[in-house]
Structure 1
């Protein structure tokens, strides 16, 4: 597990503002702990979409405001660890989105939008993936890619959050290209042209929902 004393040293200078990539942010044991808790959740906790399934913790974001729910203890330590990095600029993380991606599954280019404070942090478990960033226009040219390794943390802020679309291709494997801008920050050396076979990936996205209703659900 990476010991972090200064998050700024993990900033990817080749990216538009701002992206940070921290390999080995969690240990393999912590990765196993996260996966065990995700997959022991009751079936109704899952929301099924056409190309993946997900879980929400802390509440479901809504434009009228999020009704807060208690976040389970096993997630709190990762929220605290990210909060202690100081990247949330005076706000506190209060919502967690867990996505499961089977090999061949992905997500279309999109913006996370104004429901959230413009900072997103994501831990990857179970598999790597390639995260694409694209211009938000008709052509949607690719700006860059990030290789997200198992146990890593990626932090996306400012223009990279508000101006650039992000996506994951629907593939069963990924080929490292010269568009991948964080290879020097990865935990091992990857070569251009190297092919990586995907496994099932669980992403844990920790963020802040500014608009929270005063009503609380007790469960």
Structure 2
């Protein structure tokens, strides 16, 4: 697959948006496995829950952990796109967002190679990009449909904040990637959120030689 065919136009470099990156059957398989893990695997934050796979990123280096096979196949699927410039993704963050939950404006920072990929399962959401200054003016919105993959790199990774608003209903009319989407949406289309599971697949460059078993 040539990701250049999926570049979102008319925004700063670079976002690629691939609809139907996984099938509905794969989506069900992922969700089933996410919810079958032991309860201690979840980390509970104030506005969402998450699971860490591959190790915990740290400035001194990540102690690598084996990614389970059900998840590794999707890490490999992303890896085959060759978007990490010769590196292989080695870390997955699984987030659960209930309707009305989101994440504050942030950057992913220097612990990761400056490319981030996310598979969305169970629900759509809207990823909002903002200027990284006090004004925080909006740059664009990107609609993330179920089963899609979004790739964020270059200036969009390094120089802009991204966030998910804490709302239960999204207006999709102004999203920059509507021409790239699987479905066609009327200008005033409103979408109600369901529970969303996201797989954020990245590369952590600094990995320690020891392993945890």
On whether the aligned pair clears a TM of 0.5, the verdict is yes
Instruction: Output the CA distance in 1 between the equivalents of 2:126 and 2:9.
Output: 18
User: Which deviates more from structure 2 when the two are superposed, residues 102-111 or residues 183-192?
Assistant: 183-192
Structure 2: state its 5+ residue gaps: none
Q: Which residue of 1 aligns with 2:155?
A: 159
Q: Which residue of 2 aligns with 1:83?
A: 79
Q: Which residue of 2 aligns with 1:184?
A: 179
- Equivalent pairs counted in the alignment come to 213
1:196 partnered with 2:191 = yes
**Length-normalised TM-score, structure 1:** 0.96
Deviations 1:55-81 (A, max 9, x none): 000001111111110100011111111
From 65, 71, 78, the equivalent of 1:69 is: 65
Does structure 1 conserve the Cα–Cα contact (< 8 Å) formed by 2:173 and 2:185? no
User: Which deviates more from structure 2 when the two are superposed, residues 11-20 or residues 154-163?
Assistant: 11-20
1:210 partnered with 2:205 = yes
Cα RMSD after superposing both structures: 0.7
1:145 CA displacement: 0.3
Q: Which residue of 2 aligns with 1:108?
A: 104
1:200 CA displacement: 0.2
Q: Which residue of 2 aligns with 1:47?
A: 43
Q: Which residue of 1 aligns with 2:29?
A: 33
* 3-state SS of paired residue (2:96): strand
Structure 1: state its 5+ residue gaps: none
Instruction: Output the CA distance in 1 between the equivalents of 2:176 and 2:14.
Output: 13
